[in-house]
Amino acid sequence: MASSPKLDSKIPDGPLDQKWTKYRSTVALVNPANKRSLEVIVVGSGLAGAAAAASLAELGYKVKVFCFQDSPRRAHSIAAQGGINAAKNYQNDGDSVYRLFYDTIKGGDYRAREANVHRLAEVSGNIIDQCVAQGVPFAREYGGLLSNRSFGGTQVQRTFYAAGQTGQQLLLGAYSALQRQVGMGAVKLYARHEMLDIVNIDGKCRGIIARDLVSGKLERHFGHAVLLCTGGYGNVFFLSTNAMGSNVTAAWKAHKKGAFFGNPCYTQIHPTCIPVSGDHQSKLTLMSESLRNDGRIWVPKKKEDAEAIRTGKLNPNNLKEEDRDYYLERRYPAFGNLVPRDVASRAAKERCDAGFGVNATGQAVYLDFAFNMKYKYGKIEATKKGIENPTEAQLEEFGHAVVKEKYGNLFDMYEQITGVNPYKNPMQIYPAVHYTMGGLWVDYNLMTTVPGLYALGEANFSDHGANRLGASALMQGLADGYFVIPYTIGAYLANEIRTKPIALDHEGFVKAEQDVQNQIQKLLNIKGTKSVDYFHKRLGKVMWDKCGMARNAEGLKWAIEEIRKIRDEFWKDLRVPGEANEFNPELEKAGRVADFLELGELMCKDALERNESCGGHFREEYQTEEGEAERDDANFSYVAAWEMKELGNWELHKEELKYENIKIAQRSYK
Amino acid sequence: MAGSSGKNINVTIKVWRQKNKNQKGQFETHEMKGVSTDMSFLEMFDVLNERLITEGKDPVAFDHDCREGICGMCSMYINGRPHGPKQGVTTCQLHMRSFKDGDIIVVEPWRSAAFPVIKDLAVDRSSFDRIMAAGGFVSVNTGNAKDANNILIPKDDADEAFNAAACIGCGACVAACKNASAMLFVSAKVSQLALLPQGQVEREERVLNMVKQMDAEGFGNCTNTGACEAECPKGISLENIARMNREYIHASTIANRK
């Protein structure tokens, strides 16, 4: 298979481990005087956006940052709990750049680009250095050195963390760097602004149309380049671990104006989330993967025990050890509870579908800390205290303190939401939509198929293949923002130094603003009977049932028809209260859901086209006898990049994935 | 269901309605029947808004985003307390099981001159961003850092810096304070960086600049009532304010000497 001529990935020549070093030293530069006259628009202020904006401003570019929240510090990167990977090998346990690269490619089920992933692994160490220099308070050992823990899909300890609030601390670090530039006047901040379209002029992206969410006014902004750092699209499922405002609009508007969408069907379903409790549910909450370091996942061995637990007749704490099925340890002894997310999620679904689920809905499994709390940490602490034969109560007391120190905030969060004390009872968990590996197709420079338009972080498709490993999202967002784009943007901007800012009354801006205005009026003028959430929930259910953890051709075909129907109804019967020229959260939601209703169709189409199972994409027709995902490397070792011709009509372009440094194999965690 | 208490209750909501910052506001009363106690407080507002939209009325505008207690966007003043009756949680983590059948619940926006109302319960907290821009950082450009383990930090210092850094910038401290003081917010950042070796170089300049900006934004002074600490959803300690005062006096003296 040869790659489509429309997809030039611009991967540098040379040996894998020298590509980035060489490229970085030879890519075109922009001299400091010229940087001051080049304007860069950054949309989104999460890890990728804040890091990119701060770093580019430090270099001298004129930067504008847009975010829909009231402050850049609120971007959803803030909610990442567990940690960030880096190949520092501080633990002397055999880690290296190559091993992080290898784990990431394998974890992604051999559907990521080698050169990008290797670059990611190479800069991973710099990220930790940078964050520490900013004052990010990572967890430390008593000797003052940084502490590490393990995440899924790896056998080394390379994850850096700050309790269960790693994303918060990293984002506040990037935010502080950003605010420093704001204070110096190098970055102009537009909070409570939402990008509603890109502006292309003469084949290049030259700016955006944004709506001031407080006044409702539309604004035109020019940029020599535009960076979309707008996160993922998990909210297409309505229920996800994403923030309520997380959306696909920026990426989708870019897609409609020429940016190809890569692997839209690759969705990450995270195995350990708090189960759905009722119809009122507005979002799902993750329990960090780091909990799988010490929590053991199980369901009852016997169906009658599961039934008794579901109806409240049996307390799970009283179920004997031999009657418990630690199914991950049973099926995957080499990785046990730390298998990658896609594997753990499917295994939970399999047990629940088979009738072993443990809550009233039958859609939950246990994540149990009792064993390690007592017999791992309790024992260590007892030994430290010189107690030779500790009682069970002592073990529990000592272990409790250690677990509290390690995971306290997560345990508190669990109790606030469920009203159940997880120190005394095993947590109930179930998989939920968490992350989207798919996103805008980008080349090695992180540029989309629209010249001058870039996508960074979760918004692009590039580094995680068909499944992202835990603690790798923070790494990628910061890598793109701090250490990749500051170099690669030079390749484009070096040729733009003669481009004068385009006047905002240029017809390109006028027309784009008019289109946005028309869409807003159209939404307000429907004056139907149903709320935005009504349609969003319907879409979410179709996506979860047919394009979620397990997919099949028949279901996907049905889903595409169904989504089209919901979309038609949306545009006939939606009710958006209020006006365009005021603070109007329902209007914001309506615009976002309108885009989800289009994206959903493409996700199903992509899932239907990919006749194999890989990573988070599990097609029921393609599985091994043991129920594992079965890839088809001969036919599907490519990135699917979709070009939109018109709504409902997409052309597929393929970028061949070549593995020159890794022996491609069936993934095994057994 | 996860820890389902499975109950339904009826409550009365008295909520502040205000079209925009220039118009006067007033309370509006809504009866909420059959509210599941497993619902979060914001989900109860979702249900209310859904009803208002169906009835052709204007839904209540309120800020929220992550709904897991970390982004700091939600900001309701519930029965006279920021983030409601429960200790150590944000409004989005407050669940209806904290209320009883028949309760009357009064919901207002944060009230402070430095946080003007945008609409209903949503307020403008951009003053916090400007305080951060004045000095809430270590001046280190990307790419200049040395190996992370070259900086040794005693675990206790790192932990204490982390506790201060846990601030989510929600503004509950300001809303809780009779003076609308932002000292807890500002001192959390000043403390975090004063406790770490990375923050030492700019230590004096930082506290002077941040306090100057805080005053310019119109926040009140601290009179040590401790309401901020009591209402902070992240348990940020009053000790940070003491530390900031010490930092400030120290920096002022140094500045005088210079």
Query: How close, in Å, is residue A177 to chain B by CA atoms?
Result: 6
CB atoms under 10 Å from CB of A331, counted, come to 19
Query: How close, in Å, is residue A391 to chain B by CA atoms?
Result: 30
For chain A, the distance separating the N- and C-terminal CA atoms, rounded to the nearest angstrom, is: 32
Residue A47 tokens, joined: 């890890």
pLDDT at B5 over 90: no
Query: Is the distance from CB of A241 to CB of A285 less than 8 angstroms?
Result: yes
**pLDDT on residue B1:** 37
This prediction has a pTM of 0.97
From the candidates A140, A276, A415, which should be mutated to test the interface with B, based on the most B CB atoms within 10 A?
A140
Number of A/B CB contacts below 8 angstroms equals: 247
Tell me which residue in A172, A182, A577 faces B59 most closely, judged by beta carbons: A577
- Chain B hits for A214, CB-CB cut-off 8 Å, are 118, 124
Query: How close, in Å, is residue B225 to chain A by CA atoms?
Result: 27
Task: Give the C-alpha distances (Å, rounded to integers) separating A570 from A533, A567, A584.
Answer: 11, 5, 18
Q: Does B109 touch chain A (CB under 8 A)?
A: no
Residue B175 has φ and ψ, to the nearest 5°, of -65, -35
Query: How close, in Å, is residue B45 to chain A by CA atoms?
Result: 11
Say which residue the tokens 């960030």 belong to.
A84
β-sheet bridge partners, residue A647: none
Say which residue the tokens 């923070």 belong to.
A474
- Chain B hits for A167, CB-CB cut-off 8 Å, are 70
Query: Is the distance from CB of A225 to CB of A205 less than 8 angstroms?
Result: yes
Tell me which residue in B42, B56, B161 faces A137 most closely, judged by beta carbons: B161
B10-26 core/surface letters (b: 16 or more CB in 10 A; e: else): ebebebbebeeeeeebe
Tell me which residue in A139, A169, A582 faces B165 most closely, judged by beta carbons: A169
Q: Does B217 touch chain A (CB under 8 A)?
A: no
Task: Give the C-alpha distances (Å, rounded to integers) separating A100 from A136, A148, A573.
Answer: 23, 15, 50
Query: Is the distance from CB of A409 to CB of A285 less than 8 angstroms?
Result: no
- Chain A hits for B118, CB-CB cut-off 8 Å, are 214, 583
Q: Does B142 touch chain A (CB under 8 A)?
A: yes
Report which of A339, A305, A345, A301 is spatially closest to residue A322, judged by C-alpha positions.
A301
CATH for A270-432, options being 3.90.700.10, 3.30.710.10, 1.20.1560.10, 1.10.3720.10: 3.90.700.10
Query: Is the distance from CB of A435 to CB of A270 less than 8 angstroms?
Result: yes
Query: Is there a contact between A176 and B61 if contact means CB atoms under 8 Å apart?
Result: no
Q: What mean pLDDT is predicted for residues B226-247?
A: 97
A529-545 core/surface letters (b: 16 or more CB in 10 A; e: else): ebbbbbbbbbbbbbbbe
Query: Is there a contact between A361 and B1 if contact means CB atoms under 8 Å apart?
Result: yes
Amino acid, single-letter form, for residue A127: I
Residue B125 tokens, joined: 């907290």
pLDDT, tens digit, 9 for 90 and up, residues A39-92: 999 999 999 999 999 999 999 999 999 999 999 999 999 999 889 999 999 999
Domains and their CATH numbers in chain B: 8-119 (3.10.20.30), 126-257 (1.10.1060.10)
Query: Is the distance from CB of A480 to CB of A124 less than 8 angstroms?
Result: no
Q: Indicate the DSSP class of residue B166.
A: T
Query: Is there a contact between B149 and A162 if contact means CB atoms under 8 Å apart?
Result: no
Domain ranges of chain A: 270-432, 505-656
Query: How close, in Å, is residue B86 to chain A by CA atoms?
Result: 10
Tell me which residue in A180, A245, A586 faces B137 most closely, judged by beta carbons: A180
Residue of chain B nearest A86, judged by CA positions: B148
Most distant CA atoms of chain B, gap in Å: 67
Amino acid, single-letter form, for residue A53: A
**β-pairing, B77-78 with B104-108?**
antiparallel
Query: How close, in Å, is residue A195 to chain B by CA atoms?
Result: 17
> Distance (Å, rounded) from C-alpha B221 to C-alpha B214?
10
pLDDT at B2 over 60: no
Query: Is there a contact between A583 and B4 if contact means CB atoms under 8 Å apart?
Result: no
> How remote is the C-alpha of B191 from its chain's centroid?
17
Burial of A397 (0-12, 13-18, 19+ CB in 10 A): middle
- Chain A hits for B57, CB-CB cut-off 8 Å, are 577
**pLDDT on residue B6:** 67
Low-confidence residues in chain A, pLDDT < 50:
none
CB atoms under 10 Å from CB of A141, counted, come to 13
pLDDT, tens digit, 9 for 90 and up, residues B87-97: 999 999 999 99
**pLDDT on residue A405:** 83
Query: Is there a contact between B20 and A582 if contact means CB atoms under 8 Å apart?
Result: yes
pLDDT, tens digit, 9 for 90 and up, residues B120-176: 999 999 999 999 999 999 999 999 899 999 999 999 999 999 999 999 999 999 999
Query: Is there a contact between A71 and B126 if contact means CB atoms under 8 Å apart?
Result: yes
> Distance (Å, rounded) from C-alpha B171 to C-alpha B181?
10
Amino acid, single-letter form, for residue B76: M
**pLDDT on residue B4:** 47
Say which residue the tokens 């675990």 belong to.
B155
Residue A213 has φ and ψ, to the nearest 5°, of -70, -20
Residue A528 tokens, joined: 């139907």
Query: Is there a contact between B68 and A413 if contact means CB atoms under 8 Å apart?
Result: yes
Compute the mean pLDDT over every residue in chain B, rounded to the nearest whole number.
95
Residue of chain B nearest A58, judged by CA positions: B141
**pLDDT on residue B257:** 63
The CATH code belonging to domain A505-656 is 1.20.58.100
Q: Does B124 touch chain A (CB under 8 A)?
A: yes
Tell me which residue in B66, B155, B193 faces A141 most closely, judged by beta carbons: B155
pLDDT at B3 over 50: no
Say which residue the tokens 């939402």 belong to.
A194
Query: Is the distance from CB of A199 to CB of A500 less than 8 angstroms?
Result: no
Residue A628 tokens, joined: 């594992």
